[in-house]
Structure 1
C-alpha cells in the first residue's frame, strides 16, 4: 500500500506538497491541492481540518505557485452539524476571497448530496467566483441539478466526474455504459451553457471527444480545462499542455494517505484495479 501511495500522494506535509506543485507548474500544469481527511468525529478534529485548509491557502499565496484547493465538507464537521460546517466553510472562503483564490467543494456519497447542495447554494451567493462544486455523472438526478445551477447562477464552475462511490441502483446508473453516456451528456450541456467546465477524466475517449466537441462548437480553451489525478498518466498530462489546453492536476497530501486509499477501495473495489492499471500507464 505504501509503495502505491507514494506515486499518488504528494507527501505527508504541506511543504512537500508545495514542492511538488512547483515542479508541476514548471511543466505548465496547474494544480488543485487536497489535504486528505474526511468523516471527523468531534469539533476539535473539524477545526484542525479547517486550519489545514487555511494553511494551504496561505502557503499557495506565500509560495506563488499556481494552485487552488479542494475539500470534503465531512472533514469540516458536516456530520456533526450543518451550522458547524458552515462556520468553517466561511472561514476558509473568507481567506480564499482575501487571497483571490478558489475552493472546490467535493461531492461525497449520496447521503450527503442534499445538504451539500444547500450549503453550496448559500455559499455561492456569498462568495461568487471563489467557490465551485463537483458533479457526478452516475447519479440519475445530475442533469436536473445542473439545469438548476446553470439557471440560478450567472457563473458556475463545475468539475464534471463520472463518480467513484458505490451507490444503490435506485439513485445511480449501475451500468458503466449508461454512466459514460450521461457523462458526455453533462460535458456537452455545461460547455454549451457558457459556464466554465472542468472535465475530470483519464479516459482517452472522453478527452478526444471533448477536443472534437469544442472545435466543432468554437468553444474557446479559456472556457474549460482537463483534470487528472496526481501520478496518473503524467505524460498524457504534459502532452495536453503542449497542445495548448489547461491541464489541472489534483494533488492530495497528508498523513491520512492510508485512510484515503483504504476508503476509496472499500467504497468501490474497481478503484483498486484503476490504481494498479495506472501504475503502468503513460
Structure 2
C-alpha cells in the first residue's frame, strides 16, 4: 500500500485506479494533486488530502488510505472531508449560486470491513427516508472500499489485492486488467526513482510533525525523538495487524515493502511479549 503514496500523484495511475473503482472505463482526469491542505477559514481543524483530482466534467475526487479504523470513525471523517472540500469552491458575493457546486466523490480505502457485510465496496448517496425512489441528488457520493472482501466486481477485487502487495504476480490478482497493468508499470518506475526513499519516510512524517510541536515546549531535539517514535509506532502497528492475520516476517516485509531485518526484529519483539505497546517496541527498535 505504501507505493500508492507516490503513484497517486501520477495522473495516469490515479486515472486507472479511479476508473476501476467507479466502473467508468472512459474516465479522464484534468487535474491531480497530492498532500493538498484544505484550510478551515474559521481557524479550526484543516485536512490534508492524500489524493485529490478533478475530471474533465469538473467532478472532484478525494481518495484516502485509512490503515487504522479502530481509533477513529471513518464515516464521520468522510462527512468532515465532504464539508471542507466544498468550502473553497464558491466565491463570496450575491451572484454566487449553489447550483454551481461541482459533484464530489469521497473514497476511503480500508484494510478492515467497517460495515461487516463482507463487500468490497460500499457506496452511499443521500436518500429520502419516506420515498425510496427519491434521491436528494445533491451531487455527493461516499465510497468505502474494503480490502478483506472478495465479493465485488472481479477487476475491483484484483485492484484492491494488487494495492495490498503492489505486485502483478500476486495470485489474488485474478483479472490482469489493462488498467492494473498500467498501474503496475508506473509503480515499478516509482520504485526505481529517488521518490521511493522519500515515500518510506512519509509514514513517519505525521509523528515527526507532532514531535516538532512537542519540541517547541520541551526542546526541539527531544520533540523530534518523540515524534519519530510515534511515527515508528505506526509501522509497528501495521506489522502487528499483519501478524494477527497469519503472515510471517518475510510476507510482511514484502507486503509493507520494508527491510526484512527490520520487520524480523519487530516481529521478534512483538511475539516475545505481547503486552508491549506499539510505542514501546518502536522505542526499542530505534535504540537498537
Using the size of structure 2 for normalisation, the TM-score is 0.36
Larger Cα Rg: Structure 1 or Structure 2? 2
Point out the structure with the larger helix share. 1
Query: Relative CO higher for 1 or 2, CA cutoff 8 Å, sep ≥ 6?
Result: 1
